[in-house]
Structure 1
Amino acid sequence: MKKSHESSREYLIARASHLAPVLAAIASENSFSKAAEKLGVHQSAVSHRITQLEEALGFALFERTTRQITPTEYGRVLCAAAIESVDVWDAAFDRLEKFRTSGTVRLSVASALAMKWVLPNLASAQQAGLEIALDVNDRPVDFSAGTIDAAIRFGVGPYPGLHSSLLKKAEIVPVASPGYCAGDRVFEDAVGSPDVTLLKDAVGERDGTDFSWGYYAGQAGVQINEDANALAFDRADLVLQAAINGMGIGLGRTLLIEGDIAQGFLKAVGKPVPMKSAYWLVCSPEFAKTERHGSLLGWLKTQMK
């Protein structure tokens, strides 16, 4: 088979891409007639389009007999690419359908926030008619994967490339179990004592959120020797649990400590300091246009007041 005319690479790619659904249907049905039926067109249209593509390429894509068609080596390559292309589009439209319809919101949150705030408030979400599937993950979410709808992030924000909604500004404050600081000593006096241990969130010390004793000391105007009598943990909720257990003074922040203070497990032992970091609801620009996003954002803001 000879080329009817010289075609550029770009032209051939565009033409093959345009025929991807046809090639994928032929590959799955092993028949021009069944592929045409699947696509809702006449068999002659399928045959004609494939013949035109073969002429443009300069080689056959299928070996034809009266009973069956068999892809050539070239045909197998293009059919595999066509199937992959169609699968990508199917997945994309599945995501678009999820954006349009109501249903479960797949929300990703860090472990500390999940344990200290989200889980205790999930019942109110159900009462508000909001169904949340919780993904507890301390790593940033890849929304392009399509498995997560939205995430709550703690940081300076907003986040480039994502739709970012400010949920709540945050403060940090030293907290301890009610019986830890004997005689109700003020923080400035207690922190210098050899019998007082500082509990640190090692991640907060290095993730740029200013959730650290160094930031607190600078903003509160107190002297802190962070290396003396210090215990480090990798999660903020573990710091607070250690404080509840009487192991030292932990650094707490908004949304993570209110419940424990209200129940008498913790008390503030220093003055609060405002943070540059805050809580944000982030998602893809597409999900931000859905009713589910509006319902989630409204519920979160109401609960965080």
Structure 2
Amino acid sequence: MRNLIAKVSQAYITPMLITLPFAALRAFEAVVRLNSFSRAADELGVSQSAVSQHVRVLEDWTGQRLLVRGARASNPTDEGRRLSEAIAEGLGQIGEICQDLRSRSSSGKTLSVSCLPGFAINWLFPRLIHFDQAHPDISVSISTDPRPVNFGTGEADVAIRYGMGRYPGLHVQKLLDEALTPVCAPALLNSSLPLRHPADLSYHTLLIDELKPVGGRLPNWDFWATQLGTLLPRPARIRRFGQSNMVVQAAIEGLGVALGRDALVMDALTDGRLVRPFELPPVPSDYAFWFVCPEAALERPPIRAFHDWVFAQAQACNKSD
């Protein structure tokens, strides 16, 4: 009987454990940080309605209004701001611990890089062998998941991102500017259909890269024509692709004319797999490629080594233009 009383007493004095709605907390932090339900949905890889539902669940769970929803933006209340800051701090600490554990397990010689498939296949992969030769003790893994990386969960050590360079709270450096120029396979120039002026695009297939807007002006065919002050004719056919590397490959195989983004087509132009059909100057893009990582990450030798190497590669590309 005495033991039973002791157990019951202990049950009453033990603090009640609270089961936190972690998915809702993460979604709410992303909405506040990105100031957008849609951008938070893109980062988390879920629908916008799912993010909205997570926020409602969190507000019900806390009994507090956490967001003031507006037509163009949703701003946190004082309570919401306190909570989002606490979540961000907690995720940051988790990320630091994960990085530390990963470093200990492999003597700090592993490196995970996140970038889009087009950049990985057409620019990074052909050059990565040189990093391996210079740093054989560093093991590099590449993730081509198109969703924005969440450094707080230890998904990656560094990222090469494409867009306007707006990544608050992170170390951000422009790696490569971008310029746009039409490209095609050499065989297309020798076909019976003319391809000497932009108006000749009416005889050919336009290869379209379906980019997601991330601010600024999308580097698409309409942007290119507008910047040159020319009219874009109605093409004979349009083919759309969801990945930049597929656009480049389709152009190499002679399936049409692509709007080349120089970082992704420079190697194919150099070795003759692609050519520029028009004698027109490249059009500068609003977008660029950016080196992104947590502020303290460059203190890790493998990350510093990769940073210095990839910027040296980018500088070499700029000199060869």
- TM normalised by structure 1 equals 0.67
Per-residue displacement from partner, 1:178-197 (whole Å, max 9, x unpaired)? 01133774232422x3x211
Q: 2:292 maps to which residue?
A: 282
Task: Find 2:238's aligned residue among 230, 233, 255.
Answer: 230
Compared CA separation, residues 182 and 190, structure 1 to 2 (3 A)? farther
C-alpha distance in structure 2 between counterparts of 1:292 and 1:107, whole Å:
11
Q: 1:58 maps to which residue?
A: none
Letter in 2 for 1:223: L
1:238 Cα deviation after fit: 1.0
Q: 2:197 maps to which residue?
A: 187
C-alpha distance in structure 2 between counterparts of 1:145 and 1:187, whole Å:
50
Q: 1:108 maps to which residue?
A: 114
Is the 8 Å Cα contact of residues 110 and 137 (structure 1) preserved in structure 2?
A: yes
Letter in 1 for 2:297: F
C-alpha distance in structure 2 between counterparts of 1:95 and 1:70, whole Å:
41
Compared CA separation, residues 74 and 294, structure 1 to 2 (3 A)? same
Letter in 1 for 2:117: S
1:79 Cα deviation after fit: 10
- Residues 1:300 and 2:318 are matched in the alignment: no
Per-residue displacement from partner, 1:35-55 (whole Å, max 9, x unpaired)? xxxxxxxxxxxxxxxxxxxxx
- Of the structure 1 ranges 176-185 and 159-168, higher mean CA displacement relative to structure 2 is found in 176-185
State the Cα RMSD in Å. 3.1
User: Is the partner of 2:273 in helix, strand or coil?
Assistant: coil
C-alpha distance in structure 2 between counterparts of 1:242 and 1:71, whole Å:
70
1:77 Cα deviation after fit: 3.1
Is the 8 Å Cα contact of residues 168 and 278 (structure 1) preserved in structure 2?
A: yes
- Residues 1:255 and 2:263 are matched in the alignment: yes
C-alpha distance in structure 1 between counterparts of 2:186 and 2:13, whole Å:
76
C-alpha distance in structure 1 between counterparts of 2:243 and 2:307, whole Å:
26
Compared CA separation, residues 73 and 165, structure 1 to 2 (3 A)? same
Compared CA separation, residues 135 and 70, structure 1 to 2 (3 A)? farther
- Residues 1:267 and 2:275 are matched in the alignment: yes
Compared CA separation, residues 268 and 63, structure 1 to 2 (3 A)? farther
Compared CA separation, residues 79 and 177, structure 1 to 2 (3 A)? closer
1:239 Cα deviation after fit: 1.1
C-alpha distance in structure 2 between counterparts of 1:225 and 1:107, whole Å:
40
Per-residue displacement from partner, 1:131-182 (whole Å, max 9, x unpaired)? 3111111111111111211100111214212110111111111000001133
Compared CA separation, residues 92 and 265, structure 1 to 2 (3 A)? closer
Is the 8 Å Cα contact of residues 112 and 158 (structure 2) preserved in structure 1?
A: yes
Q: 2:211 maps to which residue?
A: 203
Structure 1: any 5+ residue segments left out of the alignment? 1-61, 82-86
- Residues 1:122 and 2:131 are matched in the alignment: no
Structure with higher Rg: it is 1
Structure 2: any 5+ residue segments left out of the alignment? 21-89, 317-321
Per-residue displacement from partner, 1:256-297 (whole Å, max 9, x unpaired)? 112212222111123311112111110111213332332111
Q: 1:93 maps to which residue?
A: 97
Compared CA separation, residues 63 and 239, structure 1 to 2 (3 A)? farther
C-alpha distance in structure 1 between counterparts of 2:18 and 2:131, whole Å:
47
Q: 2:61 maps to which residue?
A: none
User: Is the partner of 2:187 in helix, strand or coil?
Assistant: coil
Number of paired residues? 233
Is the 8 Å Cα contact of residues 213 and 226 (structure 1) preserved in structure 2?
A: no
Compared CA separation, residues 146 and 246, structure 1 to 2 (3 A)? same
- Within 5 Å, which residues of 2 pair with 1:33-52? none
Is the 8 Å Cα contact of residues 99 and 286 (structure 1) preserved in structure 2?
A: no
User: Is the partner of 1:223 in helix, strand or coil?
Assistant: coil
1:93 Cα deviation after fit: 3.1
The percent identity for this pair of structures is: 27
C-alpha distance in structure 2 between counterparts of 1:63 and 1:167, whole Å:
67
Letter in 2 for 1:95: Q
